[in-house]
Structure 1
Amino acid sequence: MIKYQTLLYYCYSYIAEAEKFADEHLKFCKSINLVGRIIVADEGLNGTVSGTAEACEAYMLAIHADERFTKTEFKIDDVEEPSFIKMHCRYKSEIVHSGLRDTSIINPNEKTGKYLEPTEFREMLDQDDVIVLDVRSNYEHNLGKFKNAITLDIDNFRDFPEQINALAKYKDKKIMTYCTGGIKCEKASALLLHHGFNDVYQLHGGIIKYGKEAGGANFDGKCYVFDNRIAVDVNSVNPTVISVCYNCGKTTPKMINCANPECNEHITQCDDCGDALNGCCSTACTTHPRNRPYDGTGYYVKVPQTVNKKIEESTSVNF
């Protein structure tokens, strides 16, 4: 019997009074005992939520019942326990920060790369005139990526626009973009098209959907996810580990956040180094007076919040 699930989703669809919607949506999520993280902007929704199978079903029904979000596609994972401890729903200017001063030049609802379903993406991977482009950040593709993919030296997606000129040499190629769930590719592919790349594609549903529908073939390593699981397996066909310990260089699939809250660096770290450094990325970080206790996971939360008991709608959470 499935006890808990985690839902990953996004939807580009205009939301009037989005800040008010975010407040009301937070109350709704709490009322059905969900936990997770949702970003609301005028341009749409971006979220990962977790809870009982019944709560997740109620949430999906509510989203699809709203005419603005009827096309929302959910990636569903069965999990042994909720993937978050708190429920956040925050209003921001974009559901994925593009780093553009003029965000009007890209609108995924008007122009974006051609969707490739996972099986189509897998079939195109070995074509000679194809460039596979990872649009995620360093710490994500260091943990796992498609074989022969081009990766970018960026710390956040907002740095992606600065990479366009460096990619210009691939303008005559087919560009296949991919990311975790598809949301970054919507804007990345739109921006490539804006800058004169003519043959641009995107992996529909991202790495997560690819793992479910194409077995994850030729995806090396694990996929970073933005919840307390930190990383998930993707490849059930020809899996391998490509990440190495930040400290000693030993192969390891484990990723942590540095226990020093003022550092909080995303790194891959083996258990031996984690134990020796108490979950810190360096010896220097081990002396910080506010270091968080290392429990072996390298994932840290601020305030516990149960999900299997009734949560009052008036409760507020700030983050």
Structure 2
Amino acid sequence: MKAYQTLLYYCYSPIENAEEFAEKHLAFCKSLELVGRIIVANEGLNGTVSGTREACDAYMQAVHADQRFAKTDFKIDEVDEPSFIKMHCRYKAEIVHSGLRDPQIIDPNKRTGIHLEPQEFMEMKDRDDVVILDVRSDYEHNVGHFKNAVRLDIENFREFPERINELAQYKDKKILTYCTGGIKCEKASALLLHEGFENVYQLHGGIIKYGKEAGGKDFEGKCYVFDNRVSVEVNNVNPSVVSTCFNCGATTSKMINCANPVCNEHFTQCDECGWKMDGCCSENCKSHPRKRPYDGTGYYVKIPQAVNLSKRKSKKFAVKN
């Protein structure tokens, strides 16, 4: 039994005065000495928090005691140390950014794909009439994904609606969507239904729950997570590595952020190249005057930077088929 826990959760439930709620919720989390990142919107909560077992238990009890969030499903990981450095709780327009804010089109409380428990998902995923759809960003599915999954080349989830036409060829199939914890599937499956896909399902609790309850069978590689662990193992049945080092091509599942904060690109890099490149993706980044010290983890406390749109680096991964 480890001393700390990390909780991953979301709940679509209307919140009045959500901006004020976010401020009070931040104070509550700090009172428990939790660290993590929570997004609050009018549509609900999306969070990952970490702390002592006692603090996490108190937090879950408090969330469940609020009738708005009584149905919240917490995914609990045992960790050696807290998975964040600071505590953030911010108000935003959506708890997962999709750009879909019309409740007549997307309302996860009214219509989503059929929820499949991990065992049900495992039993369905290999059928001939089924397509497994990864709705995550490219840097996430490049480090790990379900065997034979359809993966869209998107940098972030808000690109999903504009790429949905690429899935038209699968309209006669059962579509099984999945993501890290389930939150993106709520909106992705709802949009698929709105666009005329008739048989849409989603993995309840996402990859994390699948790993805990179904052993992670046939999930290839690691699962990207949004904390200082960067990626975690989920498959203890038939594990494999599907990604390679961006710099040398060696097999590796280690994902880092570039040490140059102006770049801050997600990419896979082996330990040898990590130290050789000082945690950078290129020689230009390695010589950048703002380069951060590399400690071998490739994780840094987020510092807001101007977005560099001069080029897209989405091909930084080599993935084995």
TM bucket, shorter chain: over 0.9
Residue 41, structure 1, aligned to residue 44, structure 2: no
- Structure 1 residue 100 displacement after superposition: 3.2
The correspondence of residues 73-222 of structure 1 with structure 2, limited to 5 A, is 73-100=73-100, 102=102, 104-222=104-222
Work out the CA distance in 1 between the residues paired with 2:179 and 2:206.
Answer: 5
Partner of 1:177, secondary structure, is: strand
Work out the CA distance in 1 between the residues paired with 2:154 and 2:118.
Answer: 25
Work out the CA distance in 1 between the residues paired with 2:127 and 2:13.
Answer: 34
Residue 254, structure 1, aligned to residue 254, structure 2: yes
- Structure 1 residue 2 displacement after superposition: 3.0
Q: 2:313 aligns to what? A: none
Work out the CA distance in 2 between the residues paired with 1:230 and 1:195.
Answer: 34
Work out the CA distance in 1 between the residues paired with 2:102 and 2:58.
Answer: 37
Q: Is the 8 A contact 2:248 2:273 kept in 1?
A: yes
- In structure 1, stretches of 5+ residues that fail to align are 304-319
User: Which TM-score applies when normalising by structure 1?
Assistant: 0.93
Q: 1:26 aligns to what? A: 26
1:101–1:38 CA distance, 2 compared to 1 (3 A): closer
Work out the CA distance in 2 between the residues paired with 1:125 and 1:187.
Answer: 20
Structure 1 letter corresponding to 2:246: Y
Structure 1 letter corresponding to 2:116: L
- Structure 1 residue 101 displacement after superposition: 6.3
- Structure 1 residue 246 displacement after superposition: 1.0
Partner of 1:252, secondary structure, is: coil
Residue deviations 1:74-118, cap 9 Å, x none? 000000000001000000000000133646410000100000000
Work out the CA distance in 1 between the residues paired with 2:298 and 2:186.
Answer: 31
1:302–1:241 CA distance, 2 compared to 1 (3 A): closer
- Structure 1 residue 163 displacement after superposition: 1.1
Partner of 1:161, secondary structure, is: helix
1:101–1:210 CA distance, 2 compared to 1 (3 A): closer
- In structure 2, stretches of 5+ residues that fail to align are 304-321
1:302–1:266 CA distance, 2 compared to 1 (3 A): closer
Structure 2 letter corresponding to 1:246: F
Structure 1 letter corresponding to 2:107: N
Q: 2:57 aligns to what? A: 57
Q: List, as ranges, runs of 4+ consecutive aligned residues in structure 1 with deviation greater than 2 Å.
A: 99-104
Work out the CA distance in 2 between the residues paired with 1:277 and 1:16.
Answer: 49
Q: Is the 8 A contact 2:100 2:106 kept in 1?
A: no
Residue deviations 1:177-200, cap 9 Å, x none? 000000000000000000000000
Work out the CA distance in 1 between the residues paired with 2:69 and 2:78.
Answer: 23
Work out the CA distance in 1 between the residues paired with 2:116 and 2:249.
Answer: 36
Work out the CA distance in 2 between the residues paired with 1:103 and 1:95.
Answer: 14
Structure 2 letter corresponding to 1:150: V
- Structure 1 residue 273 displacement after superposition: 1.1
Q: 1:314 aligns to what? A: none
Work out the CA distance in 1 between the residues paired with 2:302 and 2:124.
Answer: 44
Work out the CA distance in 1 between the residues paired with 2:144 and 2:228.
Answer: 17
User: Which TM-score applies when normalising by structure 2?
Assistant: 0.93
Q: 2:14 aligns to what? A: 14
Partner of 2:295, secondary structure, is: coil
Greater RCO structure (CA 8 Å; 6+ sep): 1
Per mean C-alpha deviation after superposition, the further-off stretch among 4-13 and 246-255 is 246-255
CA RMSD of aligned residues (A): 1.1
Partner of 1:39, secondary structure, is: strand
Residue deviations 1:153-211, cap 9 Å, x none? 00000000011111111111000000000000000000000000000000000000000
Residue deviations 1:255-285, cap 9 Å, x none? 0000000100000001111111110011111
Partner of 2:234, secondary structure, is: coil
Work out the CA distance in 1 between the residues paired with 2:264 and 2:302.
Answer: 13
Work out the CA distance in 2 between the residues paired with 1:217 and 1:191.
Answer: 28
